[in-house]
Amino acid sequence: NLLNVEKEPVRVLVTGAAGQIGYAIVPMIAKGVMLGPDQPVILHLLDIEPAAEALNGVKMELIDAAFPLLKGVIATTDPIEACMGVNIAVMVGGFPRKEGMERKDVMSKNVSIYKAQASALEKHAAEDCKVLVIANPANTNALILKEFAPSIPEKNITCLTRLDHNRALGLISESLDVQVSDVKNVIIWGNHSSTQYPDVNHATVRTSSGEKPVRELVSDDKWLNAEFITTVQQRGTAIIKARKLSSALSAASAACDHIRDWVLGTPEGTWVSMGVYSDGSYGIQPGLVYSFPVTCEKGKWSIVQGLKIDEFSRSKMDATAKELVEEKSLAYSCLN
């Protein structure tokens, strides 16, 4: 019976796999949360020498969990071995920020990692490998990876802003006391930083009398135009303050959402936010990895076109683009 033939395993690289997000995401991948409940996987786990023993502990636990979909685990400190033949690369390796830091404060440590790993991926990953950069500053690390891996198609290199997107959905659902699964089409524009612009102008809620715009249901415009935006922008900081560690389970879950929708497609009528290489849409200059609303089909994303942008949104979209231009030049000065 053809239907019972198992799919070929997909090789998924997780860098920084001995860290917090690594520990949260590997069981999700091994349980099919990222690629589907019928998709076998082989995990490639990379970390650095000081974390080698901890990484081996993660490998032991993965074996002990006896995940039926998990067909192999490679745990290594060698980037070449780690990147060999991978179809999906989830780039978490790097240093997280601590209380009092902005995400760009981890720039000098992290961009050089992305320059070095760009060439390992370019030379050894499977053709058409899809890359998701999570480590901060996520947009700029993804841009550096793209620039130092010129043979990887630019459409294959993305960064995570789905966490911010999910935070915006969560906050709307909380404030309206509706199910989060009934809220859709928020947008995160720009940088995964405190200048990002969470936009609800096109967002809707499913109600018993059909889909309603969030702007119609939330009567408090002042809240939507101020506190809602700053709460999403500052949520990472609030979590660091509360946990003394940066977000991990929500970041891991958002990363699974990002890859799942990219590979398997977004539901009809729904878009998600992804940091992608700008093609000039909405007047955002090419040469930046910027978060846009996208729909995905057959493993390809496309930026949602034709959304009306008012003056308020325009200025916020431009401010976060300006920060990305500055980060880009800071990144290059760190690399020189």
x/- contact string, 160-179, with ligand LMR (CB under 6 A)?
---x----------------
Of the residues 44, 124, 165, 192, only one is catalytic, namely: 192
If one asks whether residue 239 binds ligand LMR (CB under 6 A), the answer comes out as: yes
Separation CA 202–CA 198 (nearest Å)? 11
Give whichever of 7 and 241 is closer to ligand LMR, judged by the CB atom.
Answer: 241
User: Using CB under 6 A, which of 117, 136, 161, 185 touches ligand LMR?
Assistant: 136
Give whichever of 40 and 236 is closer to ligand LMR, judged by the CB atom.
Answer: 236
192 is catalytic: yes
Give whichever of 160 and 172 is closer to ligand NAD, judged by the CB atom.
Answer: 160
**Are the C-beta atoms of residues 198 and 192 closer than 8 Å to each other?**
no
Minimal distance in Å, beta carbon 163 to ligand NAD?
4
Residue 255, CA distances (Å) to 28, 133, 166, 193, 308 in order: 10, 9, 11, 17, 28
Q: Which helix (H) or strand (E) holds 70?
A: strand 70-76
Minimal distance in Å, beta carbon 74 to ligand LMR?
27
If one asks whether residue 97 binds ligand LMR (CB under 6 A), the answer comes out as: yes
47 is in an annotated binding site: yes
* Residue that the structure tokens 């524009």 belong to: 189
18 is in an annotated binding site: yes
- The phi and psi torsions of 148 (rounded to 5 degrees) equal -100, 10
Minimal distance in Å, beta carbon 88 to ligand LMR?
20
Give whichever of 136 and 266 is closer to ligand LMR, judged by the CB atom.
Answer: 136
Give whichever of 33 and 113 is closer to ligand NAD, judged by the CB atom.
Answer: 113
For 190-211, give the DSSP string.
B-SSTT-EEE-TT-EEEETTEE
283 is in an annotated binding site: no
For 137-153, give the DSSP string.
SHHHHHHHHHHT-TTS-
Partner touching 239 among ligand NAD, ligand LMR, none, CB below 5 to 8 Å by kind: ligand LMR
Tell me which DSSP letter residue 263 carries. Answer: H
Token pair belonging to 293? 């609303």
105 is in an annotated binding site: no
If one asks whether residue 79 binds ligand LMR (CB under 6 A), the answer comes out as: no
Which amino acid is located at 13 in the chain? Answer: L
Query: Binding residues for ligand LMR, how many (CB under 6 A)?
Result: 9
Contacts by 232-235 with C-beta closer than 8 Å and gap 24+? 232/164, 232/167, 232/168, 232/171, 232/188, 232/196, 232/198, 233/193, 233/194, 233/195, 233/196, 233/198, 234/194, 235/164, 235/167
Known binding residues for substrate are 97, 103, 136, 167
Known binding residues for NAD(+) are 16-22, 47, 110, 134-136
Residues identified as active-site? 192
Binding site for ligand LMR (CB under 6 A): 96-97, 103, 136, 163, 236, 239, 246-247
